[in-house]
Every structure is written in C-alpha cells, then in structure tokens.
Structure 1
C-alpha cells in the first residue's frame, strides 16, 4: 500500500500542473526592445541604446513553473492505466520499442503480453443476467472474478467508466476477494484491468482500490512462483503502465537479482528490461559476475536484444568495466549496423559512451568510422547519440560531425530543444565549425527565437541557457538571447529546481564573458553585481601551492611549469600563478617583459588583486608587455591531436582580448621528459606566444636549477 500513500501527493502535483501554473518570468525581454526593459535590473554601465532591429528577439518569453518547482512537462494520460503522468512533450518511446522487441521473439512468448490482449469469451457464458444486477456479496470469489473479467471484455465493444457508481459494488467485493483467487484467476483479473478505458488518475476510488489490492496479493505470492510467471505478471504491470510505482516490480527485481548470473539469455534480457522500468539495479549484484555472464551469452543474443540490455544498463546508470565485453559489444554492433533499429542503436551507443575506457579510444574512433555510411538512414535521436559518442574521451571524427550538423541544419525546425543544445555542445567541445554549414550557429540562434519554441523553453529553461552559453563559448554573442538567459526571472526559475543547481556556473561564465568580449553597446540584462560576486566565489578555482597535501594532475603540472618558467626568467619572483579569468577554474602563469623582451618582476599591485576580480593588464604599467602561459593539461586537447577543446580556445581568446600575449604548454610534449627537453618545450611555447627574448636562457636555467637543487640538498642533509 506504499504506492497508494504516494500517489495522492503526485496527484496534487498533477493538479498544480493543470490549475496552478504561475508565471515566473515577468515578460522577459518583450521583443528585446530596450524601451521595455526595466533599467533597475542593469548596472549603470549597461543602460545603453536599443540595438538594431535585426538583433531583436521577436517574442515575449514566458516561463512558467508548476507546484514544487517542477518545470517539465505537459500532462498526458497513459495508454492503459488511466495514470496521469508527467511526460515529455516529445514522448519517449524507448520502453515501448524494447517491449516490442521482446514480443517479436519466440523466446518471450510465454512471459510477455501485448497491450490490449483479452481472454476468451467463455466468461460471458457464466453470466446470463446483466452483470451489474448481481448481488456480488453473495457470490464466491471465483464468480466475482469471472464477473469482472466478463465486464472488462465488454469494454472492447462498449467502453465504460470504471468509476461509474454501478461498478462500485463489483470493484469493492473484488478487492476483498482477490486473496482467495487461484494464481491463474489472479492473473486474468490483472489482465482484465487493462481493458478498461483510462480513468482520470491512478487515485480514482475504484481503480486505486483494485490495483493496490492486486499489487499486494501479487507481491505476497511472488516467492512461490517460477521465473516465467513472475515475468508474465510483471509484464501485465507494464501493460497497465504501473511498473514504476507498483511494489511488485520493485520486489521482483530484488528477488531475481540474486539469480542473474545463472539466468538463461532471454531471462537476463527480460530482467534488465524490468530493471530499466524501476530505474534500479540491485546493489548486491556483483557487476563483475553479471558482465561475465553477459559475455557468455552475448553470442546468443540478437542486436535488438543487446539494445534492450543496453537500455537497462543506461537507465539504471550501470556502466561496463570489462574491456573484453566492451570490445565484443563494439564488434557485434559494427557487424549489425545495417540492420539494427535506431532505438536499439541509440541505447547501445549511450552505454558505450559511458563505458569505453580511454585505453580503447581507437576502438571508439573505428566505431565512428563504421557509423559514417549509416548516417543518412538514422533518425535525429540516433544521430545525436553518434555526435555525442566521442565526447567523454574527446575523440573527434570531423566527417561524422560535419554530416550530422548538415542534417540538423536542414531539419532544425523538427529538432527538440535538447537536441539543439547537445549539438551545440558537441560543436563547442571540438571548437568545430562544420564546413558544409558554417552558418549553423546563426541558424541555431534564429531557431531559439522562433515563437514555436516558447513552450519548450518554458519546460526546459536549462537547455535554453546552456545553448546560449555554448554559442558564447564559440564567440557568437546574440544580445537578445543573452539578455533572456540573464534576466532575473530566468535565474529565479533555474534556482528553483535542484537538478539545475550547477547552472550558476554557466550564468556566471556568461556574464563575465559578456564583460570581456560582448557587444560594446549591449543593452540587455546583466547579473546583479552582488549575485555575480557570490557565484564567482562559489565556483572559483584554487591556486595550487607546493605545500598542498592533495594535488590534481593539472595542479602538479602547473607547479612544475611555474618552477621551470621561473628558472628561464631568472627567478621565481618573475612569474605568478593567477586566476586571470575568475570564471575559469584553472589558473594561468603570468609574467611581464619590457619592449626589448627582458623579464621584469610582477608588479605588487597585480599580485594584490583579489582572486575574484578580472585581472586586466594594469594600465599604469603600459610600458610592460603582459604574458599569460596556459597549461594545456590532459583534458585540454582533442584526443590524439594538437587541437585545443572549445572552452580552452575561449580562454585563450579572452586572455588575448584583455591584452595578454598567450602561449600554450602542451602536456604531451612536456610530461615524462628530461629536464632539458622540458625547458625546450617551454622555449618553443614562449617563442610562439610571448615577446620574451629566449636566447641563451635554457643554459642559464639549467645552471639555476642545479644551484637550487644543491642548496636544498645542503639544507636538508
């Protein structure tokens, strides 16, 4: 009965969606006409004239929220159960596809049921009198069950309302007698319930009484059933669209979780399907043993069954560790690319993206190469997963991304907002402008402006703001969209959802970027200075110290380069580590030179600047050249290339905009090298990006470092 206690709360939330929608955004940007902007939200330096008409957002953005800060979603009725659910505007059909895969294969014929299946009409023979006129209290449990089944079958020809008062007596008695039915009768009652038209919610009196009673009886009897019956009953709960809230599915996956390593191939597939529905894989399951079993049965599974398994792993956030199994899945996928369905391929790619270790990046690249010829036949959802496949390992396949970007550019009106955001992220990550569609970023901006997008932006404001941030990272600054993302009501909206808790980092980056390289006469919204200070402190990176007990790989690299750079310059006082850009967590190394390229000590006024401030070169020292050394760590470069990822490009661009000479030290040329080689790497980087006179400095640095080492040995014995 836990579900019965839960659902009144959910029903109340549903009523909030329908009746209590509250406008959270006060007429946002109002066609981005600056005369309509409330100047009190701007700092004094941002009250500018209106921008030209072509830069205006031609719609009034309205973002709404629902009860408890739930911002998703339209209300829709489920297919069979009458459950009022919050479903995406673009409905997810993955579970229906997975179930259809099971239904299509003989191995699952005894354990699955098609939605809408009915029993034989023999039950009508038992009730010559009108069923509604019987005195159900005087009937046996079997007669009551047969009566309900017969009544349910009539819904196939004459739909009826289960909540009609004429059925209340039957429903009440049935609920009381369920425990006295045989297992077969219980299953038939469960199936009969699927034949009724949906009720308004899961908590309508007759419906909730029946399904809660069925849930309890099925759960109580489960342990005496074999796996076939357990799966068959679970499939009826799926047909009712109650798997997520029924106790039966939770208990069944828990009980069978102890037997996964001995399951037959089809049983393992079906078990993971129900685990997917409950979004949980039992913690006591030893993944090593499960992966071993999957490796044993993989050859016996079709590519579509592999898709069902992959969906189960992804939805339960369970990812693979066995590299041999990962290789086998990649090989099986490559061998079946011409026949695999889009939905199954989607699921497989999602799991692979989160599972493939860096040691297998070449296999991932080969998979992308194999996917290339299949791209024209894939739908948008699958194309998006292909585009995202290499993101976690920074594996880039330009031809694949270019093809997908061109397809998305042609079909942009058909894409979900999330698709637009993820595509923009992939392009930003690789700092890639598709040669076939170099106009794609203005197209994305125009698509975000379309009035037809308002509803989606209302439901998914995070996607909208992230998309704007990625455009800015690529150097595209649409003033109207930036203003919409930074308006106070949008920020309030993002702050009300716990799943958006990290969005402060993005809006902080957006505001700082706007200050550094935004339009000169930007008239739109900016962050309140106090809020920006608060966010900057919250997400501020740290400057590593040699005395720190715990250092990341990047921090150790920064300290070592700082030490060697100080040796090249003639002393540690010539270089400082600084958070030049307070919205970027990784610090950079800064040093100054004269017009002749000679190093000079860092001015004290510069090192005294607060960490949370933007470190512009000091105008009072205009005779100096300011140089920034960016340490390109392991995650700064696209895999197996010398190309920087998009946000590092943005960092370098913004440093240059501030007035720094920028040079990059690539980790792959620096780490695990001899001292002389490391100094040579620094020399090349400084020659390319700074105005430092480098001649003869390597030999001087070697002498200085050896002298420092000798002093330390003498000091510490």
Structure 2
C-alpha cells in the first residue's frame, strides 16, 4: 500500500472519530465524506453499546445500536443483486437528506437511538395514573417511558385508545420551556397516532403553546424546533411552522444557503406561503453554487408546492444547466422535483436549454423511478418538446412497470403521448386499457374511488387519439360516476369530459351509452372554451388569427361571409370559415352559421347551400405544433380529423410558414395557393 493511501485511510478514520465526538455518540453515524475536504466517498457506520447514568432516583438505561440498516435485495436477470425500490415521498426524501448531512446537524433533530426496555404492563400502569396531578418531572419521565415502549414493542403495541385519558388531561402549560422541549423530542414515536382525534387535539395544543413561547428564538433554534414539530405532526398543518416561516422568510438575506433550503422545505409543508417568494428566489440565485443539485431540488419543491413560479429566466436556465452538469449525482426524487418546477416556470426563452437536458436523459432512464420519468415527460409535453429516444425509453419502462404505476402516472403519461400524437397503434395504449379493465373493480378500485376525475381524463386523452374503449367510457359517463366527481357541483368537471362527449358523437356513432346533458355541455363550454374569444389582443394566437382574417378579407375584397367561429365546441381556438363555389367565389354563409348555439356542433346539413365547398382555416400557433418536427399536436390533429366528419375541408395555417411571409402580397398568395388549390382538387374528385 502506498504512503498516500495509508495517510488517506488515517484521515478517514480520524474524520469519523471526530464526527462521533461531535455528536456525543448518542446515535449511529452514517456520513459520506465530503469531496470538498479531499476525501473519497466513504460510508462510516459505528455501533456500540451505550449507557448513561440518569437522575439518582431513576435506573440506568441501556440501548444497543444496530450496526447497519438491512436492505432487501433481488436478483437481476444476469444474476446480480439490486436493491428493491422503496418509494419515498418527496418530503420524506428531503428530511432524510437533512438527517444524513452534517451540514444540517444543528437544525435537525436526530432520531432517538438510546432507549430502555419498557414492558406493556409498565406502560399501562403509567396510563392509568391521573396525569393532571403529575409534576413536570413525572410527566417527562412518563412520556419518555411510553416512547421507549412504542419503540420496543412495535409488533405488540398498546391500543391507542388506552392513551386517550392521559393525553386529554396532560397539562402542558405548567411545563417550563426546557421540559416542554424535552417532551417534544420523545413524542416523535407517537406519530402513528395521527389518525386519532385525541392525539391531533393534543398536537394542536402543543402547537399553540410553541407559538406562545418560542417565536423569538435564534435562526438555528427556530429551524430545529420546526423540524421537531414536523416530525411530531408530519403532514398536519403547524401554526408554529407558519409563524416561523413568516419571520425567517421576510429577511432571507440573514439566512445561510443551508438555512434557506430548510426554510423552503418548511414552506413546502405550509403550501400557502405567508411571504414574498421573490425575495427567496433572489437569495437562492445568489447562493446556487453553494448548494448540491439535491439541495437545489429540495428548494425547488418549496417553490412548486407553494404555487410559485421562478420569475427570473436567467435563474431558471442556471437551474437547468446545473442539472445537466450534475446528472450523475442527482437522485431520482430530485430530478422529479426540478422538472416539476421547470414545467411550472417554463418560458419560451428557456426551451433550448431544456432541450439539451432532455437529450442527455435517455441513458439515465434505468436509474430514475417511474414517477420521476413521468414528471420529465410531463414537462416536455407542456411545451410540446419531443425527444424520440427519451419517449421510447420511457414507454418501454412503463410497459414493464404498469401494474405498479399510480393512476396519476398513467394519466400524465397518456396526456403527454396524446400531446405528441404518438401512433395510436402503439402497444402502450392497449396495455393501459387492459390494465384499467382488469383492475377497475379490484386493485385500483380504491384509487379510482379517491380520484375519479383522473380515470375520466385518461379516457379523454385517449379520445384525442381516436381510441375509444366504450366499456370504460360508459362507466365514467354514467350519472353516478359524475356525482362521485362533483357531488352536484359541476365546476369540478374537467374539460376532458367535453372532449369525450363531443368526440363520441362524431366518431363513435354506434356508442349506446350515456352522454352529458345539454345543459352541462353548455356549462363546460362557457367555463373552458368561450374564454378564448375574450383573451388579450396581444396573444400570439390572437394575432395569427387576426392577421389571417385580414388577409382573407383583402383576398376576397369583402368583410362579410368570412366568419371566425368555433365549429367544434370542444376546441377553444376558433377557425376562419367561408364557403366557395366551383368558380372560387364566396357564397353567403354568415346566416347559416349564426343559427347554431355556441355549444352545438355546426354540421353542414341539408339546409346549407348546395354545390359548394366549406373551407375551415385552422390556426396552428405556438403550442399547437410539436417543436422538433412542426407536426400538429394531438389536440390539433384530432380537430383536423374531425372537421371533415361534419362537412368541412380543414386547411392548417402554420405560424412558422405564415411568419415567413413578410409582405401583405406574400400572405395573400400563400392563402390563395392553399385555398384555391385545395378547392380545385376537391372539385376534380
């Protein structure tokens, strides 16, 4: 062994010993040596019997610390072992990251690793006492022993009902600050009681007591107590955490980079932020180089979960570039968190950088969880940015793991594939349909009952691709199923119901199942689709439609009988519609088109003029064309497919080709070429 290697080994040993001394040896240390200190990645696990003398009237307490954590493994096809995937929520992942990082040791409460064995009989004896008469010292001792009992007897635990009297009569107001904080440390094992009303009431009292006493702590103490409250209450809203975040978030310049990450983690728990998030964004941008990619991902979730977009485009690009640079180090949960924020904050200027990120991701597909991959493809679909290699890899992965995929994951994937207009003959669609059929009343029954809207959206996205599993559609169109979703309040229905209803009428004439009521169709039309006509004049879609309309009016030298109208009520973007005879002359059409209500499909029927061609110029603005190949997205392709069914000849006006026409004459020539050539072809048939 070389001298250099020997010295490095000594340094690693010295470092682990220092860590033990730093934390007073009260729990297992698992630390990865920091590359900044020049150490190679090295996992240090210590285990020893620890004992400590307590107060004279109490006995000595002993605990044996486990040597390491057991990881179940399974064999891969080639005979090697790999860890079984253990699903962690984003919050669990973030908190676990804090626990295992030395950078957060002062602001995170480590799990209790030292406890004595307390039998159920001894615990029941404590619970039978009158807790309202106990002294502070007796309360602390009792809570500690009950906590030890829960830790020791997880397989034979006492019924939570036995704790009701004790927690209801426990007077926390008479405890001094030190005793109250000490008790809170031992309350963490009781989090399994969170589904019981008595424990929730106790947590609320404890939370309010902390607000009264501990809002003037220093930053580290405040973050530590917030962490304790999180471990006690988990996903219950904490008033104390909310007040602390309001105080700390209003002066982010006083926070270190690590403290800022923790603040954003707690804001994630609050959901509704009590502060101006732009100040935190500015501070996070300043310290981005001090954070690892996984810390940045935890911070990103703080923005996403509070519904806050990244306003600074340069900062958003920096996040993407840092992700690209550290793809080898990023965790699966982290890539999911970052791509969710990217999707939520995406601007047109940042798309090229995002495209570079997508190009690099196919090789990492095996390393990320299916849920994270769905977040990635969902972000790509948001801006219609298609990467064939990535999509193909994700489809393969999804086909292999479809049985374990959440219903929400299926919905997001089908939405993305419908956006990219992926071939309806792809096996992924039949696999999804068969999975839903096989599990609707069995393994997914509870999931569908909890999220009925999600299942209906899946079928709505399939309809965009001209895929209609009518047996499943009949289920979601049934009045009883609609009631599950909205319970009489139809504002909860998604726009996919409108797409599904109208598409069935057009493309599945043999369908005999239930449809939506006409009044409900009108309501959905007003809610989701009529808003477009009242949008801002400066929008790109509006400008394209207005420009094409003016060109058509100049071409035909008239402002009448050229209508801007929605022929299909389940598409928001209106079309420019006119009628031509065999000599390419305009035929009056406004009167005929105006007789239909806005929620009706405008068919060309026997009342329409004869021996004419109905032309529909379909706008293809930004967002309705796939960016890599300029082909129509699924929604636009469905519209082009359905217009001929009701008697119109659709002609797509691509914004890309339109913007190449620099003069009014070029635009007139472009429209003339498209319209008259199409009309001549139809006349010759």
Q: TM-score, normalised by structure 1?
A: 0.75
CA shift in 2, pair 1:290/1:510, >3 Å: same
CA shift in 2, pair 1:188/1:497, >3 Å: farther
Name 1:561's counterpart in structure 2: 548
Name 1:393's counterpart in structure 2: 383
Quick one: distance in 2 between partners of 1:576 and 1:131? 81
CA shift in 2, pair 1:326/1:550, >3 Å: closer
Q: Provide the secondary structure at the position in 2 that maps to 1:396.
A: coil
Name 1:471's counterpart in structure 2: 462
Q: Between 167-176 and 300-309, report the one with greater CA deviation.
A: 167-176
Give the C-alpha shift of residue 675 in structure 1. Answer: 0.8
Quick one: distance in 2 between partners of 1:349 and 1:673? 37
Name 1:432's counterpart in structure 2: 422
Give the C-alpha shift of residue 463 in structure 1. Answer: 1.0
Give the C-alpha shift of residue 97 in structure 1. Answer: 0.6
Which of 327, 331, 345 is the aligned partner of 1:337?
A: 327
Which of 233, 237, 241 is the aligned partner of 2:233?
A: 241
Which of 93, 118, 123 is the aligned partner of 1:97?
A: 93
Q: Provide the secondary structure at the position in 2 that maps to 1:419.
A: helix
Q: Provide the secondary structure at the position in 2 that maps to 1:691.
A: helix
Name 1:523's counterpart in structure 2: 512
Name 1:191's counterpart in structure 2: 185
**Aligned residues: CA RMSD:** 3.3
Contact 1:350 1:389 in 2 (8 A): yes
Q: Deviations over 1:41-76 (max 9, x none)?
A: xxxxxxxxxxxxxxxxxxxxxxxxxxxxxxxxxxxx
Contact 2:561 2:590 in 1 (8 A): no
Contact 1:590 1:627 in 2 (8 A): yes
Q: Deviations over 1:659-682 (max 9, x none)?
A: 222111122332482111211332
Which of 666, 669, 686 is the aligned partner of 2:675?
A: 686
Gaps in structure 2 of 5+ consecutive residues? 1-85
Contact 1:387 1:423 in 2 (8 A): yes
Name 1:29's counterpart in structure 2: none
Name 2:615's counterpart in structure 1: 627
Contact 1:279 1:316 in 2 (8 A): yes
Quick one: distance in 2 between partners of 1:544 and 1:108? 52
Name 1:316's counterpart in structure 2: 306
2:596 is the alignment partner of 1:609:
yes
CA shift in 2, pair 1:686/1:155, >3 Å: same
Please give the residue correspondences for 1:163-312 in structure 2 after superposition, counting only pairs within 5 Å: 163-164=161-162, 168=165, 172=169, 174-178=171-175, 181-183=176-178, 185-196=179-190, 198-199=192-193, 201-204=195-198, 207-208=199-200, 210-242=202-234, 244-283=236-275, 285=276, 287=278, 289-312=279-302
Contact 1:123 1:149 in 2 (8 A): no
Name 2:654's counterpart in structure 1: 666
Give the C-alpha shift of residue 320 in structure 1. Answer: 1.0
CA shift in 2, pair 1:544/1:692, >3 Å: farther
Name 2:10's counterpart in structure 1: none
Q: Deviations over 1:465-498 (max 9, x none)?
A: 1111111111112221222221111222222287
Q: Between 571-580 and 425-434, report the one with greater CA deviation.
A: 571-580
Quick one: distance in 2 between partners of 1:611 and 1:366? 43
Q: Provide the secondary structure at the position in 2 that maps to 1:586.
A: coil
Quick one: distance in 2 between partners of 1:132 and 1:642? 70
Give the C-alpha shift of residue 549 in structure 1. Answer: 9.4
Quick one: distance in 1 between partners of 2:531 and 2:146? 70
Name 2:451's counterpart in structure 1: 460
Counting matched residue pairs gives 586
Q: Provide the secondary structure at the position in 2 that maps to 1:577.
A: strand
Q: Deviations over 1:86-109 (max 9, x none)?
A: xxxx98611111001111110111
2:486 is the alignment partner of 1:492:
no
2:530 is the alignment partner of 1:541:
yes
CA shift in 2, pair 1:550/1:502, >3 Å: farther
Name 1:576's counterpart in structure 2: 563
Quick one: distance in 2 between partners of 1:480 and 1:174? 59
Give the C-alpha shift of residue 138 in structure 1. Answer: 6.7
Quick one: distance in 2 between partners of 1:466 and 1:608? 32
Q: Between 665-674 and 292-301, report the one with greater CA deviation.
A: 665-674
Which of 136, 149, 152 is the aligned partner of 2:147?
A: 152
CA shift in 2, pair 1:623/1:97, >3 Å: same
Give the C-alpha shift of residue 253 in structure 1. Answer: 1.1
Give the C-alpha shift of residue 398 in structure 1. Answer: 2.1
Which of 632, 638, 647 is the aligned partner of 2:626?
A: 638
Name 2:345's counterpart in structure 1: 355
Gaps in structure 1 of 5+ consecutive residues? 1-89, 695-717
Contact 1:632 1:665 in 2 (8 A): yes
Quick one: distance in 1 between partners of 2:536 and 2:308? 33
CA shift in 2, pair 1:652/1:189, >3 Å: same
Name 2:13's counterpart in structure 1: none
Give the C-alpha shift of residue 367 in structure 1. Answer: 0.6
Q: Deviations over 1:612-633 (max 9, x none)?
A: 3322223353421221111222
Which of 587, 591, 603 is the aligned partner of 2:574?
A: 587
Give the C-alpha shift of residue 639 in structure 1. Answer: 2.5
Quick one: distance in 2 between partners of 1:196 and 1:647? 50
Contact 1:670 1:678 in 2 (8 A): yes
Quick one: distance in 2 between partners of 1:334 and 1:561? 41
Quick one: distance in 1 between partners of 2:319 and 2:528? 39
Q: Provide the secondary structure at the position in 1 that maps to 2:197.
A: coil
Which of 473, 481, 495 is the aligned partner of 2:472?
A: 481
2:391 is the alignment partner of 1:374:
no
Give the C-alpha shift of residue 596 in structure 1. Answer: 4.7
Q: Provide the secondary structure at the position in 1 that maps to 2:311.
A: coil
Q: Deviations over 1:489-514 (max 9, x none)?
A: 1222222287x735253222212111
Give the C-alpha shift of residue 119 in structure 1. Answer: 5.8
Please give the residue correspondences for 1:24-43 in structure 2 after superposition, counting only pairs within 5 Å: none
CA shift in 2, pair 1:458/1:598, >3 Å: same
Quick one: distance in 2 between partners of 1:607 and 1:347? 48
Contact 1:275 1:312 in 2 (8 A): yes
Q: TM-score, normalised by structure 2?
A: 0.78
2:102 is the alignment partner of 1:110:
no
Contact 2:407 2:455 in 1 (8 A): yes
Quick one: distance in 1 between partners of 2:383 and 2:301? 21
Q: Provide the secondary structure at the position in 2 that maps to 1:664.
A: strand
Contact 1:593 1:692 in 2 (8 A): no
Contact 2:297 2:337 in 1 (8 A): yes
